[in-house]
Amino acid sequence: MQVFLPSRPETSFFGPADVPGACAQHTPVCRAHPPGQRKKIRPRRREDTHGPQQELFDDPHLFVDGISHHDLHQGKLGNCWFVAACSCLALRKNLWKKVIPEWKKQEWNPKRPHRYAGIFHFQFWCLGDWVDVVIDDRLPSIDGNLIYCHSNVKNEFWSALLEKAYAKLAGSYEALDGGSTADAIVDFTGAVAESIDLSDGKYKVNITEQTKLFEELLKVYKRDGLICCHLKVDSARDMEVATPMGLIKGHAYSVTDIRKVSLGEKTLCFGKTTKLFMIRMRNPWGKREWRGAWNDESEEWKKVSKSEKRNLGLTVQNDGEFWMTFEDWCNNFTHIDICRMINTSYLSQHKTWEKGEAHGKWTTNADALLNRSGGCFNNKSTFFQNPQYVFEVKKEEDEVLVSLQQEDQRIYKKFEKGDNFIIGFEILKVEQNRRYRIHKMQGQERYASSPYMNLRSIFLRKVLKKGRYVIIPTTFRPGVTCEFNLRVFTDVASNFRELLRDKPSVTCWNFLLGYPKRVSQVLVQSIEGVDPRGKAEGADLYIIIKCENESVRSGVHKNTTSANIDVKVIFYRRRISEPIAIQVWGSKIICDQFLGQVLLAALPNDPVEEQSLQLHKEGRAAQEMPGLINVKVVSSDDLLDL
């Protein structure tokens, strides 16, 4: 998938800089060839109306002495968030090589100038796909100086060109004036972004919670994750105002290192040193640092050995990078964005996750069965018209990560839109054999709900019990149209897929077997007082629920006469005169033992309240057997009722 630059850039994209008394020129990076040759390899363009075309440097490079998080400096655009994301990206070679593919081939080589075409390729992750963005080498400048993002080495241009490619993806440079560091990191890497509110008191006063957060961030950092943070402003007047300790409010900072720093000289053999939790930050301005404890010139650094300082890369200069204790960091910043690189490779020593992914869309339609934009759970009548995705938790308990990302709206800013929609999702625990879309809340369990926010990405981490679940991604208001990407990560493959059909399809087999006439939902909650004949203590109990040619079996409950079963199933019934059978069995090595059953007519007018039913032997007129089954049954002759 590629996005190509038109032969003549639009004025809105390269519009003059908003700088009083000056205007921007779009200056080529280098003079690759004499004018006669240059026309053959560069796209034709009109003369810049703000002045003649000029070259910035005769010896330009993408990288000078490699790539570093110190390379970047924010220009006159309000995109500190973007520069902070680039600083994070520069820390990980395996990640930036994906964003700047085949960079050696794109690099300017003065010995082979004929290979330079004046174009550059960058790749960004957009809703699950890597998009190739192609730009030319002209950059906005004033009097030969770049006005936006630039390097501290004047003939290094990777950051300026990356910014231009990202601006093209977003629609304009103007679209980058204000944004989210986490969004940019996700666009660079395909990471899963989680936002944490550090203003929550537990991170400021609870040492246990603070330690858990540090260990989590350290693990994320060591596994190529990227982290950024900011200090929230209370009003517009506080934007970019410095605190007494030198931190800038409303300003994005990148986390460039996390360490447990040893205090004092290391002793021989069995000696121990005190460890201090430390975190290193970088200001995208390339200056203005932390003034509190452990700043570059702080007396506290005398507690650290020279070898440890070298290991930390400590420099005493106003370069925008500084260390803080983790405690000070928690007390001074208010929000953190953690961008995890979720490992899905089996060739790894770290935990491997199984991923389920879908690219969907909220769409509108006058037909309720075709509408896919029903709004959040508050909209009871339309909620289930949203897209629905089913997955299974196959372990007794499993930690599940869910990430929902909406389409980037910045490209629509020129249409007086461009703001993120408020989005979120619900997770419902459903029947073990659910294969069709849910239409009503009847009998379903609302198991988890994400926050609803106007962010590009919404994240939820939740421990779920064994069973089948349906995720319903939604916009807050119904009737909103937008594309989205949904990802689910589990420890064991979850058979993640979209539920597309509302009810069983009509096929040629229906002429022979008949089409379903009734839908019945059965919830077996528990069994009590079962007699495991021949065993004094109890049996290994399980149940089987049968309807026509379909059966569902529960898990085994060890050495008991009573058990909480909590098994829910749904059947689409052709032969409605045949009852639904719930059988209780005892698991044995050679032959399982039948311990009784109940038969349910499951009629539409039957009570929907919980019933305690006596077990019987097989057969309709069979005698009673010890034990009760607690069950709820809901039936309807309208197949869209459940």
Strand partners, 400: 462
Catalytic member of 283, 295, 332, 386 = 283
Cα dihedral sign for 429, 434, 436, 439?
negative
Active site residue 482: no
Is 442 within 8 Å of 397 (Cβ atoms)? no
**3-class SS at 139?**
strand
Cα 19 from chain centre: 37
Catalytic member of 251, 339, 386, 420 = 251
Nearest to residue 360, comparing CAs of 264, 473, 240? Answer: 473
> What is the residue type of 550?
E
Strand partners, 406: 484
List, in order, residues 6 or more apart from 161 with CB less than 8 Å away. Answer: 29, 62, 120, 122, 135, 137, 139
What span, in angstroms and rounded, lies between the C-alpha atoms of 158 and 141?
A: 15
φ, ψ (nearest 5 deg) of residue 205: -120, -20
Rounded alpha-carbon distances, angstroms, from residue 364 to 98, 420, 436, 470, 486: 36, 18, 20, 21, 19
Q: Both tokens of residue 627?
A: 């034990």
What span, in angstroms and rounded, lies between the C-alpha atoms of 406 and 361?
A: 9
Q: Which residue has the tokens 């929902």?
A: 404
Nearest to residue 26, comparing CAs of 60, 50, 3? Answer: 50
Active site residue 283: yes
What span, in angstroms and rounded, lies between the C-alpha atoms of 501 and 639?
A: 12
Nearest to residue 431, comparing CAs of 527, 524, 369? Answer: 524
Catalytic member of 80, 86, 88, 330 = 80
Active site residue 420: no
Q: Supply the residues annotated as catalytic.
A: 80, 251, 283
